[in-house]
Amino acid sequence: MVSSENIIKNKWNEWSDTWYQKKRSDGVITRIITSHASAFHRITYSMIQEAVPDLNGKRVLVPSSGDNHAVFAFHLMGAKVTSCDISEKQIENAFVIASKHRWDIEFICDDSMTLSKVNSNEYDYVYTSNGVHVWINDLASMYNNIARVLKKNGTYIMFDIHPFMRPFGIKAGNDLIVEKPYDVTGPFGEIPTFKWRIQDIMNAIISSNLNIRRIEEMYAEDGSFWVDDSTDKGEFLSEEELENYCNWRKNPLAAIPQWLSIEAIK
């Protein structure tokens, strides 16, 4: 029987060379080179700057590194970065970009729930970005290993979809509908995903003996948040149409926070 981790890995290996290529376009990478902050939500970036004002020479680990935008940004900000992802293809494609620009970044293919190839007490800072938690079936294991690899007084910051977004959807006429109860967390689908609650994430962090220092609930910076990036739908929307997505009177989902960031210290 194929494990859920292998199902996810195989699917991401497929996606990496298909629709996900747009995440690695020259325009996207140039934007990160030009503005390192563009790889982060504005509030999350301010949390990073406050927690680790000088990244020069700091050891940074990015588990479930995905598109590697944060990895590239941290490197350009002076950090010694390790990119870790379960998908070999995601790692290979990120390595190609790093090699092209002669960026000295360490790439490791590993599961974020084990981090078995990552040494303990080695990193000043660990960062997980958008889209990580939905693929994790054991939050406690992931956070125990994040705590393990951090140095004493090391910092962890997460950025992800706010769990309050998970129960809701929109039907024709912009009516808000409930698609699932908040406390039904999964797994969902043939490619198993999870929709964790705030308490699930925070309790996993707390049980790992990381000390939560700050929580931020943020709104989308622009209307593209609501556009499915696996399609080209957003390319055909006007600026006014995109702006309307951020107006809660026209898009009820805009009335609740779209993003969550948490900072914790070992």
Task: State the Cα–Cα distance between residues 209 and 265, nearest whole angstrom.
Answer: 9
The residue range of the domain holding 102 is 4-265
> Left, alpha or beta for 205 (phi > 0: left; psi -120 to 50: alpha)?
alpha
Per-residue pLDDT tens over the stretch 160-171: 999 999 999 876
The more confident residue out of 2 and 165 is 165
Quote the number of domains for the chain.
1
**Nearest Cα to Cα of residue 7 among 230, 128, 188, 228:** 188
The CATH number of residue 205's host domain is 3.40.50.150
Task: State the Cα–Cα distance between residues 71 and 80, nearest whole angstrom.
Answer: 10
Please tell me the predicted confidence (pLDDT) of residue 233.
Answer: 55
Which of the given ranges, 10-14, 215-219, 228-232, has the highest pLDDT on average?
A: 215-219
pTM of the complete model: 0.93
Res 236 pLDDT > 70: no
Residue 235's CB: how many other CB atoms inside 10 A?
A: 7
Please tell me the predicted confidence (pLDDT) of residue 20.
Answer: 79
Least confident of 24-28, 46-50, 197-201, 235-239: 235-239
CB-CB contact of 129 with 66 (8 Å): yes
Binned at pLDDT 50, 70 and 90, residue 11 comes out as confident
Please name the residue ranges forming H helices in 63-129. 69-76, 88-100
The vertex-210 CA angle with 206 and 211, nearest 5°, equals 85
Please tell me the predicted confidence (pLDDT) of residue 176.
Answer: 82
Q: What are phi and psi of 126, to 5 degrees?
A: -125, 135
**Which of the 8 DSSP states describes residue 188?**
B
Res 260 pLDDT > 70: yes
Res 220 pLDDT > 60: yes
